[in-house]
Amino acid sequence: MIDLELLQHAVLDSRDGITIADAQAEDLPLIFVNPAFERMTGYSCDEVVGQNCRFLQRGRTEQARSEEMRAALDQGQGFSQVIMNYRKDDTPFWNELSVSPIHNERGTVTHFIGFQKDVTQRMLLDEQLRSRNRDLESAKKALEELVTLDALTGVYNRRHFDDRMESLWKISTRTGETLAVFFIDIDHFKAFNDRFGHQAGDDALIQVAQTLAESFQRGSDFLARYGGEEFVVVACGMEREPAHYFAERLCQRVRELDLDNPDTTRGTLTISVGYSVVMPREVPNAQAIVAQADDALYAAKRAGRDRACEAPMAPRFRRAASGRDSAS
């Protein structure tokens, strides 16, 4: 038999959302959600217990798909679907949902356990690949309609990052989990644009964004284009050692793109990464964590670029504007 305490830790520490619904109560109300579900949706456990999980659909899920899921549950069967859900702040995300029945010793279905994974980045990249042969203007218009996304790269934009970062900081402060923030900047990108042209620059930005999205695929990871050639990633629950590994690996994966950039020491396109791993309750606000990672990025630039630097343990929340402007 599995130790119950171990099982409890596994559920609470899971990177994917886990829910349990009462199959013997009317309308299958939720009786439990784990912290990853709270992070993913923005809803607290207290807000959702007692409700049917369809509140995430906001009545916008395709009728045929809703009926298919409802029929499976009525028959005591499980199912697996990728559906569009909506967070508490009404931002959409693609949810890879898997539901399985739990039976008692008499074979009666007593509960349904659901597993949720945010696969938005994967769906966006798949859509981008399918759209390559379509009219570029039509693809651009479709992306711009998704106001939370960056029209060029398909990842989240700065505005949505600011809102989501604040929400993740509050949730992590409540749950006591670490937050890792990675600030990423393409080295000598202005020179790259001047030398090869803006179309080549846009292609490079897309390739870097895809590389970052493929590197961070957990449901608790969040990637955004911060502006220009800068990207930012938030990883909930990531400790310092794996954060160091991921930061170093990001630099290596961009090198492996093997894009020419004669203005760098290596002769190919490279990035600099600054990252910070903190307990949210130890900093005054979400912006302070971002500022620490930004400071670390500046340190990576001063140290020669094409490398990753960790923010010092003691928080630094401000940087001189002149230093920031000279670190391109």
Residue 324 pLDDT more than 60? Answer: no
What does the pLDDT average to over 50-75? 85
Percent of residues, the chain, with pLDDT higher than 70: 89
Q: Which residues of 226-259 are buried (b: 16+ CB within 10 A; e: fewer)?
A: beebbbbbbbbbbeeeebeebbeebbeebbeeeb
End-of-domain residue from the set 117, 135, 163: 117
In the predicted model, what is the mean pLDDT of the chain? 87
Q: Model confidence over 233-251: pLDDT tens digits?
A: 999 889 999 999 999 999 9
Q: What is the pLDDT of residue 52?
A: 93
Q: What is the pLDDT of residue 313?
A: 59
Q: Model confidence over 129-164: pLDDT tens digits?
A: 777 766 666 656 665 556 788 889 989 999 889 988
Q: Within this chain, do residues 46 and 25 fall inside the same structural domain, yes or no? A: yes
End-of-domain residue from the set 60, 82, 117: 117
Least confident of 31-40, 111-120, 169-178: 169-178
Q: Within this chain, do residues 316 and 288 fall inside the same structural domain, yes or no? A: yes
Q: Within this chain, do residues 82 and 67 fall inside the same structural domain, yes or no? A: yes
pTM for the full model?
Answer: 0.58
Residue 5 pLDDT more than 70? Answer: yes
Q: Within this chain, do residues 248 and 185 fall inside the same structural domain, yes or no? A: yes
CATH number at residue 113: 3.30.450.20
Residue 187 pLDDT more than 70? Answer: yes
Q: Within this chain, do residues 197 and 57 fall inside the same structural domain, yes or no? A: no
- Domain, as residue range, for 80: 4-117
Half-sphere exposure of residue 27: CA atoms within 13 angstroms, side-chain side: 8
Local structure of residue 126 (DSSP, 8 states): H
Q: Starting from the edge strand earliest in sequence, which strands make up the sheet with 79-86, in order?
A: 30-33, 17-22, 109-118, 92-103, 79-86
Q: Within this chain, do residues 148 and 193 fall inside the same structural domain, yes or no? A: yes
Q: Say if residue 5 is exposed, middle or buried (CB neighbours under 10 Å; 0-12, 13-18, 19+).
A: exposed
Residue 327 pLDDT more than 60? Answer: no
CATH number at residue 304: 3.30.70.270
Q: Within this chain, do residues 166 and 297 fall inside the same structural domain, yes or no? A: yes
Q: Model confidence over 282-321: pLDDT tens digits?
A: 888 889 999 999 999 999 999 999 999 999 754 444 333 3
Residue 323 pLDDT more than 60? Answer: no
Q: Within this chain, do residues 151 and 255 fall inside the same structural domain, yes or no? A: yes
Residue 97 in contact with residue 36, Cβ under 8 Å?
A: no
Q: Within this chain, do residues 284 and 140 fall inside the same structural domain, yes or no? A: yes
Q: Within this chain, do residues 181 and 38 fall inside the same structural domain, yes or no? A: no
- Number of domains forming the structure of the chain: 2
Q: Within this chain, do residues 141 and 130 fall inside the same structural domain, yes or no? A: yes
End-of-domain residue from the set 117, 152, 170: 117
Q: Within this chain, do residues 239 and 128 fall inside the same structural domain, yes or no? A: yes
